[in-house]
Structure 1
Amino acid sequence: MIRIKDIAKEANVSEGTVDRVLHNRGGVSSKTEAKIRKILERRNYSINPVASALAMKNKYNVAVLIPEYEDTDLFWKSPYLGILKASDEVKNIGIHVNYFKFNQYDPASYLKSFEALLETEPAAVIFAPMFLNETKKITTQLEAISIPYMFLNIDIEGFNNLTYIGQDSYTSGYIAGKLMLLGMEKDSKILIIQSREHAGDNTAISKRIQGFNSFFKDNHTEIESITLKIEDLNNTSKTEQNIKDCLASNDSISGIFIPSSRTAVIVDCLNGNNGFKIIGFDNTPQNVERLKHDDISFLISQKPFEQGYESIRLMSDYLLKSKVPNDKVYLPIDILIKENVVYNDMNQLMFENAISED
């Protein structure tokens, strides 16, 4: 009988890579997937439904629902890779993970993916509560059928989630304020750019802004902040003009705070830094590149790879060991500068290298 181990050896990849291809879980290059599928076809390999059913008898299906990522906004790739790594590790102890994605700007896509998720009859759900009203509908359905759920990356109060895992958004904003004040003149102004269409639904963004403003209030500074809301970052020319108009009417602005992962987009609309002290969030490839060239002063990382990884580990412990996590599981707040950014998120880099080699 042909085993996964035999297929992996012939393809010169790990068993986990073959398993991901068999169950369409992603995380495998198209070239490697094609090679594996060719071997599977040649060896007439197929999943035995009876054996599969027996293997799953005492196992738990965990469903994950997070936004899809794209080349222009790679933030959600990191949690996905963390989830993928943890999924490979827990599959042998009775946890099977199904991954569902949605458009982070489309509430209908969020609900549609959740309905597909429910069809897998999950024992537990991990998701990013991106839209408030739709999240209420989702949690109502989950609670009605007694399915435990965990919030990932975005923390919303007033729900019965098992836990929240992610960054302390308020504190990260407070830290950003402290960094912004360093070396700033008394009569300076700060521009806060909200760069997301549904910023009001993303409490992580609003809490960062609250923390940022609280720092200046607590320290009785005379520095004034101005908020510019941009609805559609994909409209580059309009975004560039909006920022240009705002800066023209406020010539004392010396710092720019961007409480989202789209910092590089804003920098590009400025045609470079132009002498502004810019603080943003997340070490996406685009942001890191601008940081290395001094177009961004500081990036604050929320450890997204670890968020995804730890969410699976915590839920596995809950299902298998009845181990209840803390109400909040906060990850470290890393302050990144061009000199240390290459050392950040080494776990993700090693995992990406491993699966790319497969």
Structure 2
Amino acid sequence: MESTFIERYLGMFRFQGWFFHDLTLGIVYCLTFLFGIALFRMMFRRKKPKKIRYSYEKFEKEAVFSFPSLISFCLTLLLFFLIVSNFGLFVFGGGMTRNELLVDSGGFLVDNLVIAKWRRNVNNGTSNGGANSAHFQLNGLDVKKGELRWNRRSNWHEKLIGQTSEGIILLQIEKGQISLFNSQTGKDERQHKEFEAIFPSMKNNWSKLEKDYLVSGDNYLYTYGLDGQYYQLDLKNKGIVKDPTFEQLFLKRQTFAQVENQNVEELEKATGESFFNSKVLTIQDQEWYFIAHSETRKPDSQVILSAVSRNNPQIKWQRPLGISFGSETSVQSISIEGRFYYSTNGFSLVIAKENGNLNLMFDHLSNHRLQVVP
């Protein structure tokens, strides 16, 4: 199901929603247009007539257009475009890079929208050195329609903390500042200065560490301040409570997958199945484990999703996805009313829990859907 080389290559020449790729492509199109105008003037400029009587043969010889010259013009312009675009897009725009496209932060479901931050690493020409750069995007994917509701540029120091009734909490880890944006539009609604005005006792007390923040319920943001105290911030009623017992909420924050992955070896023995490179999805389901694994131990091996019974270990269904894990060491998963959202290697998928049918496959490299089954 993964796009072919030709599809990815041709898709490189359209605007995708990745800032540096689109900026580079826009520059390439402008340069090609200007070069085309200059080339046209050079090749098809009308010559000044000489003060002699023209014969029919002389007129044909000095004609402005001819079929061979038109072909030469088109080929020269195409060659210029391919050289400039391939150099620019592969070096600066990321080209067709997929093996370093992964979720950097977040993965929240809000009214059929999955909010996540994506990181796209771009190799700038060396394979063993440090010449890599990263591009970041924040977006909201409508998992019902299979399209992006909004898309905005991000950077390395933005981290998604959690979802509240007021919006999505965003942390700037470089400065230790939090802000809030609308989950449906991606637009900022509350800046850090407004948070400090609402909670003045937190001024100069915000942590820069992502792990020191926790969202619980619809309105509460818990934080471990620089003064070593734990706080509960009521975002709706604008109240603040300091209580050392809030520490327990942070201690209990161990992901479901870390606990469930301890049972993978037992499931392999019970089912006789080898779950290579296995990752148990963080989906709270009383009847089934959902496991993402590969056919072999090779890193580029195809990903398979398996549903395994909790009570009587047996495989209910298996679904080959036609994609690989790539370099991603973790996966994102969210439960969605009889289905679940799953992402890896730059793809977002929606799978039916009952039979493993694929309802949606979205490619974040080109930002378009590959498959939607009603």
The bucket for the TM-score relative to the shorter chain is under 0.3
Flag the structure with higher strand content.
2
TM-score between both structures, scaled by the size of structure 2: 0.26
TM-score (norm 1): 0.27
Q: Which has the higher contact order (CA 8 A, sep 6+)?
A: 1
Query: Which protein has the bigger helix share?
Result: 1
